[in-house]
Structure 1
Amino acid sequence: MTDTSTVRIEREMLHPPEKLWRALTQPHLIAEWLMKNDFAAVVGHRFNLRGEWGGVLDCEVLVVEPNKQLSYTWNHVHEDRAYDLRSVVTLTLTPTAKGTHLCMEQTGFLPDQKQAFHGAHHGWQGFLEKLDGLAASLG
């Protein structure tokens, strides 16, 4: 079996899990913090994330536990193997006294995908910052 790496980012957010869940699962809200999409919170649903750079990610919903956990594939098929990423994103929400502990894990980076690994680590920091701001604006 090939060794893979995982990007893991944890963040405390001052919002209840239910508010973050809305931002994680409603397509118009996902577009505000992540990318344009045709997401549906249904296990087995296939959807695309469309990046501003013109790239398209092919995804499939794997886990839907409302207000607790969301997981989906995150596949960027590219002719150059270093950019041919086949990974899984898992977002876990844990209630805290002040809001929610959010843990984001993206697994499946191959040893020769260091650039993609570091890009994902940087990219998720920005995505989660936007998610936090969006959740703060939700009623």
Structure 2
Amino acid sequence: MTATDTITVDQFVDAPPSRVWRTLTDPELHSRWWVPGDIAATVGHRFHLQMPGWGAVPCEVLEVVPERKLVYTFNETWTLTWRLVAEGHGTRLFFEHSGFDFGRRSERDAFDRMGPGWRDKVLPQLARTAARTGD
């Protein structure tokens, strides 16, 4: 059996779930907090995220529950899961980046780099973008 692990982040966003959802699924807003890509909240939608240093990374939407859950593949082995839960006047965003194969050194290195990136940079930037975006 291959050892795998998951990056998890719990991020409060000072915006309602509808606005966080739009920030996650609107290509123009997506490019403000992470990277450009032709994302859409439609199961089966295939799209690419333009990752610096990696180029166009293929993705496919696996699950959509509007304003509550978005799941998509990120390359051939990883899955990104975004769960939104209303909390007061804002949203609790639970994020998982799963599928790291610790049997491969490059995957373990990616896990070690990406965990702090998600926690310290990407999700806080998403939170700032959603908080500034009007409904």
| Identity level (%) | 38
1:25 Cα deviation from its structure 2 partner: 0.4
- Contact kept, 8 Å, 2:9 with 2:96, in 1: the verdict is yes
Moved segments of 4+, more than 6 Å: none
Number of aligned residue pairs: give it.
130
Deviates further, 21-30 or 108-117: 108-117
Gapped runs of 5+ residues in structure 1? 77-85
CA distance, structure 2, for counterparts of residue 69 and residue 39 of structure 1: 14
Q: Provide the residue aligned with 2:100 in structure 1.
A: 109
**In 1: Cα distance, 2:131 partner to 2:15 partner:** 7
User: C-alpha deviations, 1:89-116, integer Å up to 9, x for none?
Assistant: 0000011124111000011001132111
Aligned to 1:122: 116
- Give the CA deviation at 1:55: 2.3
Does the CA-based 8 Å contact 2:84-2:91 persist in structure 1?
A: yes
The offset of 1:54, in angstroms, is: 4.6
Residues in 2 aligned to 1:10 and 1:106: alpha-carbon distance in whole angstroms: 12
1:24 matched residue in structure 2: 24
Tell me, in whole angstroms, the C-alpha distance in 2 between the residues paired with 1:15 and 1:96.
9
Counterpart residue identity of residue 84, structure 2: L
Residue number among 91, 96, 121 corresponding to 2:87 in the alignment: 96
Contact 2:12 2:92 in 1 (8 A): yes
Q: Secondary structure at the match of 1:41?
A: coil
3-state SS, counterpart of residue 37 of structure 1: coil
What runs of 5+ residues in structure 2 fail to find an aligned partner? none
Give the TM-score, by structure 2 length. Answer: 0.90
